[in-house]
A and B are shown apart, each in its own frame.
Chain A
Amino acid sequence: MKKYTTLLILFFEVSAIFSYAQSADELAIKLTIEAETVAYLGKPFSKVLEEFWIVDDNTTIDASTPDGVHLHLTKVELLQMSDIIPESGQSATKKYDYHVLIDGNTAYVTFSQEVNMLEDGQKIYSHEIRILKKIDEKWRLHNSSVHQYLPRE
C-alpha cells in the first residue's frame, strides 16, 4: 500500500513539474513576444533582430494589410531594413487570445493584437503567428506572420 502511495505521489510531482515547466515556457514565450514589440517601437531594427530573432535562411516575416499590401521578408531584406525608430510612446498595444504549442525547443504561437494610436484614436487589428526556438535557454523569434484586418461592423 505504501509503495502505491509513494508511486502516486511521485506521479503527481512529476506531472506538477512538467506542467510548471510548460507554463514557465509559455510565460517566457509571451514575455519575449511582448518585449519584442516594445523594442520594435523604441529601438533600431538591427538591435531588435540582434536581441530577439534568429536570423538565418529560414527566417521570414509575412505581413498583409487591409489595403492589399503584402510583404514577404527574408534574411536579406531584414538585414537591409532601415534603422529608423518608429515614433514610440504614441500607441498602446494589446495582445490577447494566445494559443501556444510547445514541442521541445520549438514553439508555435497564435494571438490577436490591437494597436491603439493614441493621437487620433485609430485602431489597427491583426491576427498574428510566431514561431520561436529556444537557444541557450532563451526563446527567440524565427518566423512571423501578420494579418491586419478591418473589423466587421
Chain B
Amino acid sequence: MKSYVLTNVLFLLCLSSLFGQKNEEDAIQKLLENETEAFTKMALADVVKTYWIMDEKTLLIATMPDGNHIQEKLSDLLSHTEVPPEGHAKVQKMDFQFSIFDQSALASFKQTVTTEEGDKVNSHEIRFLEKVNGVWKIHVSSVHQYMPKGDE
C-alpha cells in the first residue's frame, strides 16, 4: 500500500514537472512570436526595450546569404529608432526546440519571412533567454539567413 502511494506521488511529481516544462516552452514561444510581431511594426530600439535584457552582454549576430554580417551590441540596437511600415512582412516560425534550465533557456527554430513583394527570407535562429522577475526576456540572438536548397 505504502509503495502504491509512493508510486502515485512520483507519477504526479513527474506529471507536474512535464506540465511546468510545457508551460515554460509555451511562454517562451509566445514571447518570441510577440517580439517578431513587434519587430514588423515598431522601431528596433523599442522592441529591444520591451522584450530584451539590456546590459553589456546583449548581442545580436546575423549573417545574410550575400555574406553581409552584423554584430550589434546594446548601444547599436538602441540606435535603430526608425519605424518600419506596418504589415510589410509576414513571419512564420517552425521546428522549435527548447532547452530550459533554472532561470535561462535556449530556443532554436526555423523562420520564413515573406515580404509584401512576395520575396522569402529563410533563416535558422537561436535565442538565449533569461527569466527576469518571472518574465522571459531575450539576451542573445543569432540569425543565419540562407538560400534554401531543393529539399527545404
Contacts and interface: CB of A to CB of B under 8 A. Distances in A.
B69 A101 contact: no
Nearest to B123: A70
B144 A145 contact: yes
B142 A147 contact: yes
Nearest to A72: B124
Interface residues of A, number: 29
B140 A110 contact: yes
Contacts of A99: 56-57, 59
Interface stretch (A40-48, A56-64, A116-124): A56-64
B126 interface: yes
B interface majority secondary structure: strand
Nearest to A105: B101
Contacts of B130: 101, 103
A147 B61 contact: yes
B63 A110 contact: no
Interface residues of B, number: 30
A70 B65 CA distance: 8
A131 interface: yes
A68 B144 contact: no
B102 interface: yes
B140 A68 contact: no
Nearest to B98: A58
B101 A106 contact: yes
Interface in A96-119: 99, 101, 103-106, 108, 110
Given A70-B144, A103-B101, A129-B61, A147 B66 contact: no
B97 interface: yes
Interface in B47-94: 56-57, 59, 61-63, 65-67, 69, 71
In order of increasing CB-CB distance, the 9 nearest A-B pairs are A149-B69, A70-B146, A64-B63, A103-B104, A66-B67, A145-B142, A147-B63, A99-B57, A106-B101
